[in-house]
């Protein structure tokens, strides 16, 4: 996926060669059976203690930002409807997951740093044998606590009354049977502890933090918008958007986060290698797409992080082509931009390769420019640089290359935006276009994509406004346009900023023209 | 999927045997490579003329129901957010698709049967080169007309003003440049033709039909709810729910619909056969799930119609277990309830089979009862019968079987609901739990599932309320419970009511104990 930037390590071509390959059965099973594929390593495993420590650290940082006069309410995501009574797989709201690792719907977390009695309260639906018979196991309080490390847990039915008490600055006492777990032995709940918050609210100085509060309404965060609307004015609370707090924290990945992202990337690498094999005998884009989603599920990814882009020939010039409905043509390039999501972290990797395994010279010329732009982007990456620096480095190489090929006539103009119309980089993490300020100086632990591209859309010249200047431009570049028409190339790698520069997290996946050709030749032979 | 029946044809075991099978490569590729799998036949193909005729017939029936004093507004589905700026694959609202076969967002259809000038107006977003560069090709008016057969097409920007004019009973003239296509040569739009509707509105007799109008608000149809709210009172229009019109039509499937459903079922059959092979070497439920979604995509299904249920051992006793996170155990049963969706029509098929290919005698005993219940359900199916008749026939067999095995003590009680807690059948079509009145007498062209089941949940006895009566019951069935504990069996076939009885649309898929065992033995041997 592209949106808007790496000192290059030696390219680690770490593909394992194994024995035992066989040809797929005639027309029955169009499956890739090959020996050259780099298999996904085992998933990272963390102990409960490691996870509790990590989550407690995250919550402590959030609490610090919320402050002693504030409270934060995090609702879980609403289920997304497919049609009628069928829903998509449930996916937790990222920031609630970031603080709890809890995957169930109907959960709410309230963090009130100034409350020394119950600074963290988790609201959870009570287990229900009937619901579990139909829809599967629910967390009990013990399990929710074991996962999240939170030790004050109330039944979800208490949330509404609790919020009303909060608003009216009244101490709240849940029904004893609704206190599913309490950190304070012998006590029956947090009837107090909100004094500091209420005192601040009495002076109109309390802060009520909700995700997306104050932003224009979108399809996410509808519970938050409704809560803000219901809360109303004059309650002594200043309604604050909690997203910037999380954006700031999530921009810097911890070692645990980096390990999870590496695993999502490794699964994606395997999927792409399998796809390179399959594409040799597949007839349709969707058959290659099938191998990708197969690999994601086989390796127990949560899901894709975004719908796979599998575009052959001119389809590769459409940035988010997700239909996969065209035939594969042996002489064409196939652009694949795919990313597995693992434990809420998504990969985002693009490779463009020839269906028949061999680049034409025109394809290789375009490809090499994009490759060189990536290298320049990597060289521009270091702590203290910015995403703009990285983008500038890649763009300069693209401009030079386009001028050399005759696809632009003026490097000082914005002509190159016709062929490279997106930025080089976006942050990557729990969202494919991850949260974080794009003005930030790069720091170790930040992860972004390095994804320049060149797209010679077959209708690009027809879409230019008619003007004498444009006619002159079109005449000048027409020969080059005809030569490169319908070629689309994007190469996208996932970059981790390090103390010394950058780590290519996607290093295990062939990327040079010669490496891709060699891999395909080897992998498709038996 | 289960929710809440068939004269049995000879069971057509139509699996093709092909040569060329091979063993998968060691631990690299856990792929099913086998020769015994019944490959999905080619997708049904219809000419534009056939489709236009079909869609025109559907629209004519809807128009008849709406009447000369009514108008129907059908909005396309809202995209469903995955997270942030990522959306799930777009899926059109079923009823709009039913009348147009158009798959794009931002489309609205207005049908005003009393308008002789423009009884059908399609609102469509104008093509836009920038948007298409990013997100793929949009329909032009010609293509939208070629797909749907509708010949009056206006730009989507006209919809708001048009609806306001409709509400205030004013003739409306779109801007000439916004009339993308018009059926009336030489004219520039439908400034008139609404006289009958407005006259009726003047007498408070006009009908404004919208999907779900008047129903409790849910996650679907939010544009409709908003439109109703904005429309307000006193405009002369009676706001009517359009869903019952479509439910009544969609309950009776046309030959074209039946062909599409058969294709969705054929894809699903192939997926299940592949899964039976894979399960022999897979270690985890999700690896088998992977083969299912792989097959759906390989055969160009739109999607699944509902998330695949792949539950091993005790997981088979959870009705909608979709996590696929448990290991496969060779001696256990694996319940798979899966359905591909093709051109908006979904299959819904369940098979339960032993991981190691061989039923234990306890498993076979439970299985045989469910099988016999299916047969009884099929025998009860004929034009004029009802879904309740079908359910009763299956339930009677289940009760007899449970009593025989010692799992209930009283056939006259509702004890059997502990082990068979859902209905035998639901309608099947564009929704997995399809629209249609469950009191309807069966007619040729109706399609429903035949899916009895027995689920011996390991916690079932613990979940019974404590009472002397229950204690007595538990003591009586304890030995049988211990014998059959954690066995879950559902068998689900898709039944088409015919003139003479029923057609098993899933007939190509092995179903008898002996057939399943023979298939697995053959398919897993090379």
* Burial (CB count <10 Å: 0-12, 13-18, 19+), residue B12: exposed
Nearest CA distance, B376 vs chain A (angstrom): 25
Residues forming a β-bridge with A362: none
CB atoms within 10 A of CB A130: 9
d(CA B400, CA B406): 10
Residue B412 burial class via C-beta count within 10 angstroms: exposed 0-12, middle 13-18, buried 19 and up: exposed
Q: How far away is chain B from the Cα of A236, in angstroms, using its nearest Cα? A: 31
Closest CA to A380 of A397, A402, A404: A397
For B410, other C-beta atoms within 10 Å of its C-beta total 12
ipTM: 0.93
Nearest by CB to B84, from A136, A286, A433: name it.
A433
| pLDDT 10s digits, B2-26 | 554 332 222 222 222 222 233 333 3
Tell me what the mean pLDDT of segment B259-276 comes to: 97
A417 vs A395: CA distance, rounded Å: 10
Q: For chain B, give the number of residues.
A: 526
Which residue carries 């639906």 as its tokens?
Answer: A125
Cross-strand pairs, A497: A502
Measured CA to CA, the distance from residue A104 to residue B399 in angstroms comes to 36
- State the best of B220, B269, B289, B297 to mutate against chain A, taking most chain A CBs within 10 Å: B297
The distance from CA A476 to its chain's CA centroid, rounded to whole angstroms, is 41
What's the gap in Å between the CA of A386 and the closest CA on chain B?
23
Element (H, E) at B270: helix B255-278
From the list B28, B133, B463, which residue is nearest A18 (CB)?
B28
Integer CA distances (angstroms), A411 to A4, A393, A397, A404, A417, in order: 20, 14, 11, 10, 11
Beta-sheet pairing, B309-312 with B345-346: unpaired
Contact B516, B510 (CB under 8 A): yes
Taking a C-beta distance cutoff of 8 angstroms, is the pair B344, B97 a contact?
A: yes
Q: Which residues pair with B217 in a beta bridge?
A: none
Q: What are phi and psi of B460, to 5 degrees?
A: -60, -40
pLDDT at A29: 40
**In chain A, which residues have their Cβ closer than 8 Å to the Cβ of B128?**
none
Which sign does the torsion angle of CA A317, A323, A328, A329 carry? negative
pTM score, whole prediction: 0.94
pLDDT score recorded for residue B183: 79
Q: What does the mean pLDDT of chain B come to?
A: 92
Secondary structure of residue B504 in the 3-state scheme: strand
Q: Would you call A31 and B28 a contact, using CB atoms and an 8 Å cutoff?
A: no
Pick B300's closest partner by Cβ from A23, A274, A286.
A286
Residues recorded for chain A: 526
A99, A94, A106: which is closest to A160 by C-alpha? A106
Q: Rounded to the nearest 5°, which phi and psi values hold at B82?
A: -90, -65
What are the DSSP calls for B11-75, one per residue?
----PPP-S---PPPTTT------S---PPPPPP---HHHHHHHHHHHHHHHHHHH-TTEEEEEE
Residue-by-residue DSSP string for A165-224: HHHTT------GGGEEE-SSTT----SS--HHHHHHHHTT-EEEEETTTTSPP-SS-HHH
Cβ-contact A147, A102 below 8 angstroms: yes
**Please, what's the b/e burial string for B437-465 (b: 16 or more CB within 10 A of its CB; e: otherwise)?**
ebeeebebbbbbbbbbbbbbbeebbeeee
Task: With beta carbons under 8 A apart, name residues in chain A contacting B328.
Answer: none
Question: B323 vs A136: CB contact, 8 Å cut-off?
Answer: yes
CB-closest option in B25, B88, B133 to A319: B133
At CA B520, angle to CA B36 and CA A291, rounded to 5? 60
Distance CA A288, CA A252 (A): 34
Cα A293 to the chain's mean position, in Å?
16
Torsional class of B145: left (φ above 0), alpha (ψ -120 to 50), beta (otherwise) = alpha
Question: H/E element holding B147?
Answer: helix B141-148
Residue B192, pLDDT score: 73
Give the distance from residue B117's alpha carbon to the nearest chain A alpha carbon, in angstroms. 34
- H/E element holding B194? none
Taking CB atoms and an 8 Å limit, are A297 and B290 in contact across chains? yes
d(C-alpha B217, C-alpha B231), whole Å: 16
Residue B239 contacts residue B72 (beta carbons within 8 Å): no
Contacts of A305 in chain B (CB under 8 A): 86
Chain A residues inside the 8 Å CB shell of B290: 294-298
Question: How would residue B525 be classed by pLDDT, with cut points 50, 70 and 90?
Answer: confident
- Judging contacts by C-beta atoms under 8 Å, the chain B residues touching residue A247 are none
User: Residue A84: its chain B contacts at CB < 8 A?
Assistant: 220, 431-433
Q: What is the pLDDT of residue B526?
A: 57
Helices B361-379 + B468-484 axis angle, to 10 = 110
With the C-alpha atoms ordered A320, A324, A329, A331, is the resulting torsion angle positive or negative? positive
Token pair in block for residue B500: 């003479």
State phi, psi for A196 to the nearest 5 degrees. Answer: -60, -40
| Residue of A82, A219, A291 lying closest to B81 (CB–CB) | A219
pLDDT score recorded for residue A183 = 79
Probe site for chain A from B133, B224, B457 (most A CB atoms < 10 A): B133
Mean per-residue pLDDT for B399-412? Answer: 98
Backbone phi and psi for residue B122, each to the nearest 5 degrees, phi listed first: -105, 130
Residues in chain B within 8 Å Cβ distance of A95: none
Q: How far apart are CA B143 and CA B141, in angstroms?
A: 6
A26–B18 CB contact, under 8 Å:
yes
B90: nearest CA partner in chain A: A82
Residues of chain B neighbouring A88 (CB-CB closer than 8 A)? 80, 82, 88, 307
Residue of B417, B420, B464, B456 lying closest to B317 (CA atoms): B456
Task: Specify burial of residue B42 (Cβ count, 10 A radius: 0-12, 13-18, 19+).
Answer: exposed
Nearest to A136 among B133, B320, B463 (CB): B320
Closest CA to B114 of B183, B206, B186, B202: B206
Nearest-CA neighbor of B383 among B266, B298, B502? Answer: B502
**DSSP-derived secondary structure for A402-467:** HHHHTS-S-TTSSGGGGT--S-S--B-SSSSS--S-TTPBP-TT-EEEE--EEE--TTTTTTSPP-
> d(Cα A354, Cα A367) in Å, to the nearest integer?
11
Task: Count CB pairs under 8 A between chains A and B.
Answer: 209
Q: For residue B135, which residues of chain A lie inside 8 Å, CB to CB?
A: 318-320
Our CA-based measurement puts residue A92 at a distance from the nearest CA of chain B, in whole angstroms, of 10
Strands A70-75 and A108-111, sheet pairing: antiparallel
Q: Which residues of chain A fall below pLDDT 50?
A: 4-30
Instruction: Give the per-residue pLDDT at B190.
Output: 53
A342 touches A370 (CB < 8 A): no
Across the interface, whether the CB atoms of A23 and B18 are under 8 A apart is answered no
Largest CA distance in chain B: 84
């Amino acid at each position: 996926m592209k949106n808007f930037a790496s000192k290059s390590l030696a390219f680690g071509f770490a593909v394992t060669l194994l024995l035992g390959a066989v040809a797929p059965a005639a027309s029955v099973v169009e499956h890739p059976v090959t020996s050259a594929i780099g298999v996904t390593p085992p998933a990272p495993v963390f102990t409960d203690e490691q996870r509790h420590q990590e989550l407690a650290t995250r919550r402590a940082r959030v609490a610090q930002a919320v402050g002693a006069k504030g409270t934060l309410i995090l609702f879980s995501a609403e289920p997304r409807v497919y049609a009628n009574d069928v829903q998509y797989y449930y996916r937790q709201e990222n920031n609630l997951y970031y603080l709890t690792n809890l995957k169930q719907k109907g959960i709410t977390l309230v963090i009130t740093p100034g409350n020394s009695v119950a600074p963290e309260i988790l609201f959870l639906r009570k287990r229900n044998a009937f619901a579990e018979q139909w829809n599967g196991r629910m967390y009990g309080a013990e399990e929710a606590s074991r996962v999240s490390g939170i030790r004050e847990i109330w039944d979800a039915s208490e949330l509404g009354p609790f919020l009303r008490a909060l608003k009216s600055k009244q101490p709240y006492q849940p029904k004893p049977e609704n206190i599913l777990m309490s950190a304070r032995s012998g006590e029956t709940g947090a009837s107090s502890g909100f004094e500091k918050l209420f005192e601040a609210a009495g002076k109109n100085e309390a802060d009520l933090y909700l995700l997306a509060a104050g932003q224009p309404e979108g399809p996410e965060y509808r519970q938050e918008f409704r809560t803000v609307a219901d809360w109303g004015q004059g309650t002594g609370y200043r309604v604050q958007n909690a997203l910037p707090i999380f954006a700031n924290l999530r921009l810097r990945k911890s070692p645990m986060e980096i390990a999870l992202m590496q695993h999502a990337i490794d699964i994606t690498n395997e999927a792409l290698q399998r796809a390179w094999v399959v594409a040799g005998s597949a007839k349709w884009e969707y058959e290659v797409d099938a191998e990708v989603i197969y690999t994601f599920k086989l390796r127990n990814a949560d899901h894709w992080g975004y719908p796979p882009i599998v575009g052959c020939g001119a389809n590769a010039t459409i940035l988010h082509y997700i239909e996969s409905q065209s035939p594969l043509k042996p002489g064409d390039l196939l652009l694949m931009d795919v990313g597995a999501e693992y434990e809420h972290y998504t990969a985002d990797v693009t490779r463009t390769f020839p269906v028949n395994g061999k680049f034409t010279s025109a394809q290789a010329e375009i490809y090499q420019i994009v490759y060189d732009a990536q290298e320049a982007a990597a060289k521009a990456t270091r702590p203290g640089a910015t995403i703009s620096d990285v983008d500038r480095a890649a763009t300069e190489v693209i401009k030079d290359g386009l001028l050399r090929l005759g696809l632009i006539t003026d490097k000082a103009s914005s002509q190159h935006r016709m062929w490279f119309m997106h930025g080089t980089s976006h942050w990557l993490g729990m969202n494919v276009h991850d949260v974080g300020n794009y003005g930030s100086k790069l720091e170790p632990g930040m992860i972004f994509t390095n994804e320049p591209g060149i797209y010679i859309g077959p209708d690009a010249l027809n879409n230019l406004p008619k003007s004498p200047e444009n006619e002159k431009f079109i005449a000048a570049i027409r020969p080059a346009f005809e030569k490169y028409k319908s070629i689309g190339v994007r190469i996208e790698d996932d970059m981790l900023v390090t103390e010394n520069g950058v780590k290519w997290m996607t290093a295990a996946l062939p990327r040079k023209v010669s490496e891709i050709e060699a891999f395909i030749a080897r992998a498709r032979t038996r």
